[in-house]
Amino acid sequence: MDEVNIVEYDPHWQILFTEEAERIWQALGNDLVVEIEHIGSTKVPRMAVKPVIVMSFFSGLIFQG
């Protein structure tokens, strides 16, 4: 079984999320991206977690078929 690395909360994670969200907005544009959210345990202050920033984005595209 793989070892899981748990670390103390790092306030820098919010900065990393913001920077990555901006890159996504720039790459996909406002027509495609409606909202980007920082979800998961790295969003919770003072919580020891796996150091993985999880993001969710919502698209304005509607597929019909």
Nearest to 8 by CA among 46, 37, 36: 46
Strand partners, 49: 7
Tens of pLDDT, residues 10-36: 999 999 999 999 999 999 888 788 899
Nearby residues of 36 by Cβ (< 8 Å), 6 or more positions away: 21, 24, 25, 55, 56, 57, 58
- The pLDDT, as a whole number, for residue 6 is 96
- The pLDDT, as a whole number, for residue 63 is 66
Q: Is the confidence at residue 65, as pLDDT, over 90? A: no
- Answer for the pair 54, 42: CB distance below 8 angstroms, yes or no: yes
- The structure's pTM equals 0.81
Per-residue pLDDT band for 56 (boundaries 50, 70, 90) equals very high
